[in-house]
Structure 1
């Protein structure tokens, strides 16, 4: 059965400490499709703070979720071909950052190979993307976007691609200043040294959403073979 939506993401391998700690922080393992008991966060509702990213799983977006135009098998074949021509590369150490009010893991040094990988994912599977309808476009609030972002939204179905793209592994919803003062040191301490460990980007993760509103799960990790 074709899933409702497919997304191309980077996600740490199952045996990476970041997968275990980050998934537990969010309260859900996208590889196992199972809920996890979250750490305590005194004075704050960690389940509410992490509800939005929990549904998508621990990941960084390469090509955002899209409805399939030609079915899953055809899109999977295109993704496998993309992975086969992409060489593995080193990911810079990650660290917790404030990204426009959200807390997220971001790279600590430029990584041209990472940016090129994201660009290739956007273009390489675009023939398999069903264009968003007017309601979906309106939810992106195009009136609040820059001119280049509106152009990307029209052409690629998402405003934050190419020069507008920023690698990030989302850890919370948008926080108030008071929440951030508590949550930022808490998540930094909880993740410990896991974000900064040396790691290779060696797979492309296919995340699927089986039905509207359902959480995303990892369908497959395609090895990079270029």
Structure 2
């Protein structure tokens, strides 16, 4: 089993429901949200497995003597000390080979929260196996990212963190061009709108390759 700390909007919010319909799966209950679509489904299979989210602490195997109850208690404590804040969403934006929702500009609040979370949950994480490190293709990472991978289990932390909520898998230019009109239409209501960051969730992968499910959600409580 692996756990991850993700931001995701409330299950019943318009953004969550729209994104879940787009991806075809609701990570809160694991159920399909629409009929299968022959063309779209292969292009969104990867984000559909993970569920609509932004990575704050990347998926990790649990360290010895750590269980979900302990992670739950720590995240509850962590979120109780966080103050809600807002970003302006840009969607859909193309990041390299995939589409995502991103902030319109760098957010100091996001960066501060992400760094604090990565440090807070480091003791709960088992060391990466050699196979897991190899899957990250360290030869393609920068020296700093390789150091992050070795120390924190994920290359894109701290200076390399970029908040994004993925809406497609890796696409060719031709696939991206074909998918873009549907993405634009589906997410038009959210582009340029305020997205409140006021909760974090534990997502769980019960076994390798299984779809991630929301285990618990913790609201930010600081005033």
Shared fold by TM > 0.5? yes
For residue 148 of structure 1, what is the aligned residue in structure 2? 144
| Cα distance in 2 for residues equivalent to 1:94 and 1:119 | 23
Provide, for residues 109-141 of structure 1, a one-character-per-residue CA deviation record: whole Å limited to 9, x for no partner: 221111111111111111000111101001111
CA RMSD of the aligned region, Å? 1.5
| Cα distance in 2 for residues equivalent to 1:140 and 1:93 | 28
Provide, for residues 124-181 of structure 1, a one-character-per-residue CA deviation record: whole Å limited to 9, x for no partner: 1110001111010011111111000000000001101111111111111111111111
- Do the aligned residues in 2 keep the contact of 1:95 with 1:108 (CA within 8 Å)? no
4+ long deviations beyond 3 Å: none
For residue 11 of structure 1, what is the aligned residue in structure 2? 8
| Cα distance in 2 for residues equivalent to 1:38 and 1:183 | 18
For residue 200 of structure 1, what is the aligned residue in structure 2? 196
- Do the aligned residues in 2 keep the contact of 1:68 with 1:75 (CA within 8 Å)? no
> Within the alignment, does 1:30 sit opposite 2:14 as a pair?
no
| Cα distance in 2 for residues equivalent to 1:211 and 1:174 | 23
| Cα distance in 2 for residues equivalent to 1:28 and 1:199 | 21
For residue 134 of structure 2, what is the aligned residue in structure 1? 138
| Cα distance in 1 for residues equivalent to 2:91 and 2:35 | 20
- Of 185, 209, 216 in structure 2, the residue corresponding to residue 213 of structure 1 is 209
| Cα distance in 2 for residues equivalent to 1:186 and 1:159 | 32
| Cα distance in 1 for residues equivalent to 2:51 and 2:162 | 18
| Cα distance in 2 for residues equivalent to 1:9 and 1:62 | 5
**Number of corresponding residues:** 220
Give me the TM-score of the superposition, normalised by structure 2: 0.94
**DSSP 3-state at the match of 1:28:** coil
> Within the alignment, does 1:47 sit opposite 2:41 as a pair?
yes
> Within the alignment, does 1:101 sit opposite 2:100 as a pair?
no
Q: Unpaired segments of 5 or more residues in structure 1? A: none
